[in-house]
């Protein structure tokens, strides 16, 4: 068992999948010779050859279209987008073809593809290099949207995504790529999709988050524990389809819910979770659902980025507002 960062765990999972299944191929801009812009595929071309790890032109629509065609013919393609802000040209291929192929052909064809997308702020990069557009993709019927939050979960969730028979958009939080490390066993064991993961049990309030925002969320849970408040922390992990039942069960015990995410507040996945709680769990709540999110503006330049991202202080303020309700 080796200690890995998140980006190393992504590479480990791709290497395992390519070893175990010759149908798995990887391509994208600079993923081969240079090992990807974040070196997630470093060494894979030398290991598996340029027929299975291939550089593409600078065209996101092209590489996703290639993935759809390969998937429809029985391959298991992994395509990489360099930054989330570059994924919009590929949205046409995803929304009009990948997500619809199974329905369009009445099950005769499908698109078992994985689109890997480094996303999120916190690394001092401007604008389209730091966006969190996961809600845009979660709104498309037929797409799965997955976000890991640790090296071990990145390994297991990516293996599950590669094995899935339908398209998966796999958002990788860049702020965590090299920020944390843990032991990851390269055993080829997937982590099931479509399920929340309870990271910490609690009885006073429920904190719900995903991706890099879980760093501040877990830190806030530690501070609350010092104040005698027991916070349950849930990693959503698969944003679409959403495992609302796990969140409802937790809120049924705590009566309070705070949702934390980097993406803008309006139309975010947090709003979908809050709506689900209002529809199916209103009688379980003793306080209004709180959301701690990014602001409804473009991600600012590095000097102001810390004011944009959810912070431990903002989460604690939301917790105190929630706890003030009897």
Enzyme catalytic residues: 129
- DSSP letter string over 209-273? E-TTHHHHHHHHHHHHHHTT--EEEEE--EEETT-HHHHHHHHHHHS-EEEEEEEESTT-HHHHH
Cα 132 to Cα 272: distance, rounded to the nearest angstrom: 16
The residue behind tokens 């470093």 is 42
3-state secondary structure of 172: strand
Helical H runs in 41-147?
A: 44-48, 60-72, 91-93, 101-104, 134-138
Q: Give the C-alpha separation, 259 to 173, whole Å.
A: 17
Using DSSP's 3-state secondary structure scheme, residue 41 falls into: coil
Sort residue 30 into left (φ over 0), alpha (ψ -120 to 50) or beta.
left
Q: HSE-up of 232 (CA within 13 Å, CB side)?
A: 23
Structure tokens at 269: 């996945």
Give φ, ψ of 103 to 5 degrees.
-70, -40
**Residue 272 Ramachandran class (φ > 0 left, ψ -120 to 50 alpha, else beta):** alpha
Residue 119 contacts residue 172 (beta carbons within 8 Å): yes
Q: Please choose, from the candidates 143, 168, 122, the residue with its C-alpha nearest in 3D space to the C-alpha of residue 158.
A: 168
């Amino acid at each position: 068992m080796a200690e890995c960062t998140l980006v190393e765990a992504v590479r480990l999972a791709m290497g395992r999948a390519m070893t175990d299944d010759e149908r798995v191929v990887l391509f994208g801009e600079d993923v081969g010779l240079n090992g990807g812009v974040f070196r997630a595929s470093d060494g894979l071309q030398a290991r598996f050859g340029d027929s299975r790890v291939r550089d593409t032109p600078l065209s996101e629509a092209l590489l996703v279209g290639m993935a759809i065609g390969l998937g429809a013919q029985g391959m298991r393609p992994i395509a990489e987008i360099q930054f989330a802000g570059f994924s919009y040209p590929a949205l046409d291929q995803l929304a009009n073809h990948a997500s619809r192929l199974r329905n369009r052909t009445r099950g005769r064809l499908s698109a078992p593809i994985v689109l890997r997308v480094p996303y999120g702020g916190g690394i001092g990069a401007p604008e389209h290099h730091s966006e969190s557009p996961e809600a845009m993709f979660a709104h498309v019927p037929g797409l799965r949207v997955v976000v890991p939050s640790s090296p071990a979960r990145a390994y297991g969730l990516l293996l599950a995504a590669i094995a899935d028979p339908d398209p998966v958009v796999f958002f990788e939080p860049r702020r965590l790529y090299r920020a944390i490390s843990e032991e990851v066993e390269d055993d080829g064991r997937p982590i099931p999709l479509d399920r929340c993961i309870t990271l910490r049990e609690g009885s006073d309030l429920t904190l719900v988050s995903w991706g890099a925002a879980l760093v501040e969320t877990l830190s806030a849970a530690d501070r609350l524990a010092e104040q005698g408040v027991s916070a349950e922390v849930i990693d959503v992990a698969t944003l679409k389809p959403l495992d609302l039942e796990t969140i409802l069960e937790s809120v049924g015990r705590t009566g309070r819910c705070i949702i934390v995410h980097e993406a803008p507040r309006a139309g975010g996945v947090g709003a979908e979770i809050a709506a689900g709680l209002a529809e199916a769990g209103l009688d379980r709540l003793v306080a209004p659902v709180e959301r701690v999110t990014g602001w409804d503006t473009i991600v600012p330049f590095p000097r102001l980025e810390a004011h944009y991202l959810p912070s431990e202080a903002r989460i604690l303020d939301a917790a105190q507002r929630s706890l003030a309700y009897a």
